[in-house]
Structure 1
Amino acid sequence: MKNAWSASAKAKALLVLLGVVWGLNWPAVKVSLGAVSPWTLRTVGLGVAAATLFALALAGGRGWRALHIPAGRDRLHVLLTALLNIAAFNILLTFAQLGAATSRVAIITYSMPLWATLMACVVLRERLDAMRCAGLALGAAGLAVLIAPLAAGGLPSGIQYALAAALTWAAGTVYMKWARIAAPPLAIAAWQLLIGALAALAGLLWFEGMPHPGPLRAAVLCALGYHIFFGMALGYILWFRIIAQLPAGTAALGTLLVPVVGVAAAVLLLGEHPSHADMLGFAFIFGAALCVLLPGRRPASLLPEA
């Protein structure tokens, strides 16, 4: 009993650490984008994350069997969910941070559990209980508070990209739940990240050609290094250690620390000043996500970092 409690306590401590690591990744991405294109950033970041998960799977002693995805429909489902959950989500998110304040992008992006709940109701015929209905109402209020002041002059591109990112993540999550892929979560995530990296590389070569990086400022190098080795590689190592030891509901609920740290870091490190409307919208959306991710619900197995 004592050992089980100790393992759970360690996993919860790692969950707090993950919230900090992924939360700080938001300003790291913003600083990196000051000198590195979105396509390059995602190609490198997703590529390193994929390599990390492949190494973890191979180090488990089962060799390539640990990464096996059954042929046929399961491989097609992995491809499609990767394009939605990983490629589209991450690429849209980088463009969102180019066009809007990091704090506001983080707040809007974390409306994704609400969209997933709504889509699951329509596509999977999941029932909405009182708690989920309250969550949807709070989420709608939060988005209205954030978007209404901007709507008169047309929504900035960054806000549109953030909303699109939240919707693609939700669509991919519901699709993956419907598909029920018969493979270990680590194998699914490793292949998804590799597909995401290849999609970003294709975008890089199509829109920009071969990159020719020039000299980078020390601040950009530090931010880029943090994003690649901490936000992506370490983040996914921590995540898979956590979900192996904690219930999915507890793990998903713990990731709500990410936008809190992300918004605070944007204020402290980037000098952003969220408006009263931003903070009110954040409170609504945070409360809404809390409603739909409470233990006993069935949240997605993978929530994004930035």
Structure 2
Amino acid sequence: MSSLSVTEKAQSKGIKMLLVAVLCLGLNWPGMKLGLEIVGPVWMVCLRFLLSLPVLALFVLITKKRLPVLNRKDRSVVFVVAFFQFILSMGLITVSLQYIPAGTASILIYTTPLWMLLIDTLWYRQRPPSKRLILTGISTIGCAMILFASGQPGAWLPLFGMLLASALWAVAIRRVSFHKWKGSVIEAVFWQFTIAGFAMLAIALMVEPTPNFGAYDISDWLLLAYIGPVATGLGFGLMVAAGPKLPPDKIVLISTLTPIVGYVSSVLLLKETLLPMVVAGAILMIAALIVNGLPQSTLKKMLGKGQAK
């Protein structure tokens, strides 16, 4: 078998894995909105991570033939990501989701390019290229359109809570971008979920009443099973596993389907109002995200094909 056919098979497998991950994570937005009707937001985050641990452990067992191990040289970044992305950011997302539509939230969390630009410019004193400045400006306009369309009385604070959650997520992304992993990424995710899950359990026991799990019916448990093991465990696991099999441009294109799935599924499943300005803002944000993430060579090929036609 030629090396080309092996690569094509690996990419095909990676695309399928990433598409399943996108579907799981996108559908999780209406799932979390429904879940907040049966459990508090802090308990939601806690259960989401703790219930997904067996799935991630199984990923490691299948791929590494052992249980998850935390590499000593990865500890600092594991703790940083667990704190900023999975405790602070995910906590803010879930608290804010109580008060705003799930579809709107699924789009706003993808304002990370704006925060990445601010982090790189203000903290690392970098001079971003004009392409990045223009596309981030377009994304910001799209974000502003969504905010103005969704900014009903009482909704402004949770809307800004989503933006702050996105900023904290950007901090975690930038920290990871400077790190060279010594262990596997899937094992790092397992330990990040472990740290975040037990930290949120301690907070939940202090600030929220303990859920009456004995009174839950089968539909409640199925919903929690989807939010935890399926969406979070399987979704994140497949996304991490698909990464090495695919070039960056394909990962960018497929991953940007997540907020689209989140918005459309929220409209269909939760009967959320389809606001034209939110749709227009989402199109601007997602288009800017795609173009900003694609390599220059890929953009030239796409433009070349368009001109050839």
TM-score range, shorter chain: 0.7 to 0.9
Tell me the equivalent position of 1:18.
Answer: 21
Which amino acid in the other structure matches residue 21 of structure 1?
Answer: C
Contact 2:50 2:228 in 1 (8 A): no
* Residue in 1 that maps onto 2:32: 29
1:100 aligns with 2:100: yes
After superposition, residues 142-157 of structure 1 pair within 5 angstroms as 142-148=142-148, 156-157=156-157
Residue 203 (structure 1) aligns with: 203
Query: 1:182-213 CA distances to partner (integer Å, 9 max, x unpaired)?
Result: 43312221211111112211211120254433
- CA drift of 1:118 comes to 3.1
1:51 and 2:69 matched: no
Q: Please, which moves more after superposition, 100-109 or 201-210? A: 201-210
Partner of 2:72: 70
- The alpha-carbon distance between structure 1 residues 180 and 120, as it changes in their structure 2 partners (threshold 3 A), is farther
Quote the residue 2:83 is aligned against.
83
Partners of 2:99 and 2:155 within 8 A in 1: no
User: Identity over aligned residues, as a percent?
Assistant: 23
Classify the secondary structure of the residue corresponding to 1:99. Answer: coil
Contact 1:16–1:254 (CA under 8 A) maintained in structure 2: yes
User: How far has the Cα of 1:162 moved from its partner?
Assistant: 0.8
- The answer on whether the counterparts of 2:151 and 2:159 sit within 8 Å (CA) in structure 1 is no
**1:45 touches 1:228 (CA, 8 Å); kept in 2?**
yes
Q: Which residue of 2 aligns with 1:262?
A: 262
Give how far 1:138 is off.
Answer: 0.8
For 1:42-75, what per-residue CA distance to the aligned partner results, in whole angstroms no more than 9, with x for missing partners?
A: 11111122332233224434635x623226xx42
- After alignment, is 26-35 or 78-87 more displaced? 78-87
The Cα of 1:278 is off from its aligned counterpart by: 0.9
State the aligned residue count: 294
Give the drift of 1:30: 0.7
Shift of 1:107: 1.2
Amino acid at match of 1:175: R
Q: Distance in 2 between matches of 1:199 and 1:270?
A: 31
Of 79-88 and 124-133, more deviation after overlay is shown by 124-133
TM-score normalized by structure 1?
0.86
Instruction: Give 2:123's aligned residue.
Output: 123
Residue 19 (structure 1) shift = 1.6
Map Cα deviations across residues 52-105 of structure 1 (whole Å, 9 max, x no partner). Answer: 2233224434635x623226xx42332122100111121111112101011111
- Confirm or deny: 8 A CA contact 1:31 1:219 kept in the other structure: no
Distance in 2 (CA, whole Å) between partners of 1:184 and 1:127 is 32
User: Structure 1: where are the runs of 5+ without partners?
Assistant: 298-306
Deviation at 1:23, TM superposition (A): 0.9
The structure-2 alpha-carbon separation of the partners of 1:140 and 1:211, relative to structure 1 and needing over 3 Å to count, comes to same
Deviations 1:250-269, CA, capped at 9 Å, x for gaps: 32432110110111001110
Q: CA deviation at 1:163?
A: 0.9
User: Does the Cα contact within 8 Å between 1:7 and 1:245 map onto a contact in 2?
Assistant: yes
CA distance in 2 between counterparts of 1:228 and 1:151 reads: 30
Q: Paired residue for 2:300? A: none
Task: Check 1:35–1:3 CA distance in 2 against 1; reply closer, same or farther (3 A cut).
Answer: same
Q: How far did residue 115 of structure 1 move?
A: 1.6
CA distance in 1 between counterparts of 2:285 and 2:209 reads 39
For residues 232 and 283 of structure 1, what CA distance do their matches in structure 2 show?
26
Residue range with higher mean Cα deviation, 88-97 or 144-153: 144-153
Moved over 4 A (4+): 149-155
Matched residues in 2 for 1:61 and 1:145: separation?
46
Q: What amino acid is aligned across from residue 47 of structure 1 in structure 2?
A: L
| Structure 1 residues 55 and 162, CA gap change in structure 2 (3 angstroms) | same
CA distance in 2, matches of 1:248, 1:177: 14
* Aligned partners of 2:100 and 2:155 also within 8 Å: no
Q: 1:24 to 1:54 in 2, by over 3 A?
A: same
Residues 39 and 211 in structure 2, CA contact (< 8 A), matched pair in contact too: no
Alignment correspondent of 1:300: none
Answering whether residue 163 of structure 2 is matched by residue 163 of structure 1, we say yes
Cα 1:102–1:209 change in 2 (3 A) is: closer
**CA RMSD, aligned part only?**
2.5
